[in-house]
Amino acid sequence: MEIIIAKDYDEMSRISAEIIAEKIKKKYDLVLGLATGDTPVGTYKELVKLYNEEGLDFSKITTFNLDEYIGLAPLHENSYNHFMKENLFKHVNINPSRVFVPQGNTNDPEIFCEWYENKIREAGGIDLQILGIGRDGHIAFNEPGSSFASRTRVKALVKETIEDNARFFKKKEDVPRFAITMGIGTILEAKEILLIANGGKKAEVCAKFIEGPITSMITASALQLHCSVTVVLDEEAASHLTRKEYYDWVRNNKQLVQKKIGR
């Protein structure tokens, strides 16, 4: 894992948007995995800025979102479909026929999940997957205890996640209890992964998934099994890491490191 410690949320957003933009510039038909939540809002703003100011071209990329609440129609104001439209899709030249977000109001979630996995496969797999992290260590809605082999499926949300996400709803009772989510196995098949996190309330879990043991109780720790993961944290989210000096040294000496390891 490459760990990048940014000074604050804005810098975290800029760095992560630059990483994504570089990938799109290198591969115009990139398959990009997208995340929702408060964390990536700034990253999407920066991408919109790059589209407006530098002409970053989204027209040939394909996107797959990580998850969606069961029971919410795509136009529902709390759906992740709606979130993506408001925060990214409507601001850039993305082709709607290449945009995939799980459908929360599907009649048959099981068949839908199989279809979603097939679509990812048909697209050639995800080139770069963006992830946030929950306080309980989840990536997408893979709550503690999720199998590392899991695929896109329906998952029951834990109390902590429902409480954390209640801020987006009128009342806590309105937060859906279930979601469709890519599995850990699905996520680990992405060629590259970019996880972003900010704020003191993510500090403990970030130290656990980066420096602690691999455990399904912190599903983000599965990323230790992946060979191409970049983590961009702000200083607060990085505050419990014990090897910060090492991560900074590696980042500041990247060219030297790449030369030594032959990349």
Give catalytic residues, as residue numbers: 67, 136, 138, 143
**Cα gap 114→119, rounded to integer Å:** 9
Contact between 43 and ligand PGA by CB under 6 A: the answer reads: no
Between CA 206 and CA 43, with CA 214 as vertex, the angle to 5 degrees is: 35
Position among 102, 104, 109, 132 found at the interface with ligand PGA (CB under 6 A): 132
Position among 4, 133, 203, 233 found at the interface with ligand PGA (CB under 6 A): 133
219: amino acid identity, one letter: T
Contact between 99 and ligand PGA by CB under 6 A: the answer reads: no
Pick between residue 57 and residue 144 the one whose CB is nearest to ligand PGA.
Answer: 144
- Nearest-CB residue to ligand PGA? 37
Site stretch for ligand PGA (CB under 6 A), options 37-45, 80-88, 103-111, 148-156: 37-45
The distance of closest approach from Cβ of residue 246 to ligand PGA in the complex, given in angstroms and rounded to an integer, is 26
Q: Where are the beta strands (DSSP E) in the chain?
A: 2-6, 31-34, 62-65, 67-69, 99-100, 128-131, 153-156, 178-181, 192-197, 229-234
Contact between 37 and ligand PGA by CB under 6 A: the answer reads: yes
Contact between 163 and ligand PGA by CB under 6 A: the answer reads: no
**Cα gap 213→164, rounded to integer Å:** 25
Contact between 38 and ligand PGA by CB under 6 A: the answer reads: yes
Contact between 152 and ligand PGA by CB under 6 A: the answer reads: no
Tell me which residue has tokens 């455990």.
215
Contact between 134 and ligand PGA by CB under 6 A: the answer reads: yes
Contact between 183 and ligand PGA by CB under 6 A: the answer reads: no
HSE toward the beta carbon, residue 213, CA cutoff 13 A: 3
Site stretch for ligand PGA (CB under 6 A), options 108-116, 127-135, 171-179, 210-218: 127-135
Q: Among residues 7, 232, 214, which one has the least CA distance to residue 132?
A: 232
Q: Is 3 helix (H, G, I), strand (E, B) or coil?
A: strand
Pick between residue 36 and residue 62 the one whose CB is nearest to ligand PGA.
Answer: 36
User: How far, in Å, are 23, 49, 109, 215 from residue 143 at the CA level?
Assistant: 29, 33, 18, 12
Question: Which residues are near ligand PGA by CB under 6 A?
Answer: 37-39, 132-134
